[in-house]
Amino acid sequence: QVQLQESGPGLVKPSGTLSLTCAVSGGSISSSNWWSWVRQPPGKRLEWIGEIYNSGSTNYNPSLRSRVTISVDKSKNQFSLKLSSVTAADTAVYYCARVLGLLGPFDYWGQGTLVTVSS
């Protein structure tokens, strides 16, 4: 059973950089899957942020592309998210998730972590 666990600061200052890590257990990040970040602002719909393959290839949501970096650390079986120049609009629950296969839905999700942008 694959499990994902997000970690990182719950509070980030405006204009700062949000950094989160997703640890994968029960499976390998080198498997034939893409690994994604998804967020959900309070009371709003889910928003896909981007994804990474174990080779390091990435795809980002155009709405966030200029501020997002997703990276992978195969030695630690984890992947990470950095979102720069954050504002209050970036306050959300952030989830990491596994893509089923190479082009599929999200079949495994982390529990989510709330990140608040505030001074």
Partner 1 sequence: ESVLTQSPGTLSLSPGERATLSCRASQSVSSSFLAWYQQKPGQAPRLLIYGASSRATGIPDRFSGSGSGTDFTLTISRLEPEDFAVYYCQQYGSSPRTFGQGTKVEIK
- State the minimum distance, in angstroms, from the CB of residue 13 to partner 1: 26
Out of 17, 46, 71, 116, the residue judged to bind partner 1 by CB under 8 A:
46
Q: Which CB sits closer to partner 1, 14 or 101?
A: 101
- Output the DSSP codes for the chain: --EEEEES-SEE-TTS-EEEEEEEESS-TTSS--EEEEEE-TTS--EEEEEE-TTS-EEE-TTTGGGEEEEEEGGGTEEEEEE-S--GGG-EEEEEEEESSSS--EEEE---EEEEE--
Q: Does 11 bind partner 1 (CB under 8 A)?
A: no
The reply to whether 107 sits near partner 1 by the rule CB under 8 A is yes
* Residue 42 touches partner 1, criterion: CB under 8 A: no
Is residue 106 close enough to count as binding partner 1 by CB under 8 A? yes
Residues that bind partner 1 (rule: CB under 8 A) add up to a total of 23
CB of 63 to partner 1, least distance (A): 7
